[in-house]
Structures are given as structure tokens and as C-alpha cells.
Amino acid sequence: MFKILRHTTLGMLLLSIMPLTFWLSEWHWNPCKNDINLLWLFIIMQTVNSPWVILTNVLLSILMFKCLPSKANVLLILIFIINITIVAGQQIKSFIKYNTKEPRPYVIWLESNYGINSQKFYQLKIEERRKKIVDLNISNKTVPIWLKQHWIHETDFSFPSGHTIFVSSWALLVMYFLWPYRYYKTILIVLIWAYIIMASRLLFGMHWVQDLVVANILSWILVNLMIYSINYLILINRKQ
């Protein structure tokens, strides 16, 4: 039990380095200029946006299947449980979002600079919110076209970060299951990918730092529950 907690907690702390670095530096979000480096970040972020997130999830599932040295039927059950955990994380995220109703940073910025009332904005239906942003005469020099388009498609609430829950859950799972088999490069790549996704959510005005911190904690809880459940099932089967 404590071995599981030690490994997953270390992973969670590694993932928390990104948001805590922003917090300790007293960073405050402002719209990014049309920078090629930020555009690359945006492109990588698409791996967690619909519909590409489905492909990403499939590829990560295949990665786990290929790397773990167990029987195919056992691995298929494991992949199934992992995907239930991933879906559960998104459902929990949606429940919290619509009960906390935290505005996104870019909405607060639009309120300060373009006179949008954030409370009234979130009272509108999704299509009306999107139209509201489309109708704003935002200079392309202030906000790149690709970022404005992203805002148009993500007008829901901020807290917590669903993107972070997704990448953190997968990062923790990859670290926990693949570390004993010394897939260090694979773990590092997944960890860097998770860092990039988290950074992009902050840099593009989609989330506050606390959204990412709480998302990492939620991922840690979900992954621990999943691992304990699997170990419990294994223990029960051995006794039979």
C-alpha cells in the first residue's frame, strides 16, 4: 500500500512542478502575441482536444499493451480499467466545473478590455457565448486568430482543468506501470508532453494555476483508487 502511495505521490509532485513554477514566479496571464513557439505549443495541445484526444487515448492504450509483459487477456482488462478511470476523471471534472462556475482567465480579460460581463456571459447558452466572442473586434496583433478560434470552441468554466486531469492521469499510469520495466525514455517523453499541455493551458488563458494543481491531485486520487482496486481483485482471485 505505502509503496503504491510513494510511487504515485512522487509522480504527482513531479507533475506539480509546472503549475507551482508559474505560481512561485507570480506569473499573471496576458494574451500572447503571434509567436511561432506558442503556435507549436498550440499544435501539441491539439493531442488533448477533440477529436484528436480519442486517437491519443488509443495510442497510449496501445503503448501500455505493448510494453507490459503480461498475457493479452490480462492486459485487455487492465486497459479497460484504465480507460474507465480516464473517462471517470472527465465526468468528475464536468461535475465540479458546473458547480464551482469559475470563469476562465481569458473571459476575465475580455471583461476588463471589451466590456463583457462574465456572469452574464456564462448565463448564455454555449452557441450564444461563441457568437459573443466571434462578434468581438479583437485585433489579430493582440490575440492570434488560432487562439481566438480556440476560445470560441471552449467557453465553459475553468476549474478544474480537464486537459490536465487527462495528461496527469496517463503520466501517473505510465510512470507507475512502466518504471519497473525501465522504460525511462518513454516515461520522460510522456512527462514532457504533460508539462507542455499544462503550460499551454496557462499560456493561452484557459486556466488558472489552481485549476492545474487541483487537477493533478484529482488524477492522483483516481489513479491510486484504480491501482488499489486492481490489487484487491488480484488478491481475491489468489484466495479462490
| Helix 184-203, helix 209-239: angle, nearest 10 | 140
Report the pLDDT value the prediction gives residue 240, as an integer from 0 to 100. 58
Q: What is the fold, at CATH topology level, of the domain defined by 2-102+157-239?
A: Vanadium-containing Chloroperoxidase; domain 1 (1.20.144)
Does this model's pTM top 0.85? My answer is yes
**Residue 163 among the catalytic residues:** yes
Nearest to 165 by CA among 91, 102, 60, 78: 91
Which pLDDT score, from 0 to 100, does residue 178 have? 97
Sign of the dihedral defined by the CA atoms of residues 157, 174, 9, 232, in that order: positive
Residue % of the chain over a pLDDT of 70 = 97
Calpha distance 230→222 (Å, rounded):
12
Say which of 7, 28, 153, 163 is annotated catalytic.
Answer: 163
The Cα–Cα gap between 150 and 196 comes to 17
Question: pLDDT (tens digit, 9 = 90+) per residue, 212-225?
Answer: 999 999 999 999 99
Q: Write down the catalytic residue from 7, 28, 153, 207.
A: 207
Q: Residue 208 and residue 105: Cα distance in Å, rounded?
A: 7
pLDDT tens per residue across span 43-91: 999 999 999 999 999 999 999 999 999 899 999 999 999 999 999 999 9
Q: Determine which of 33-37, 39-43, 172-176, 201-205 has the lowest per-residue pLDDT on average.
A: 33-37
Least confident of 20-24, 92-96, 234-238: 234-238
Residue 150's pLDDT band (cuts 50, 70, 90): very high
Q: Is 207 a catalytic residue?
A: yes
The domains of the chain are located at 2-102+157-239
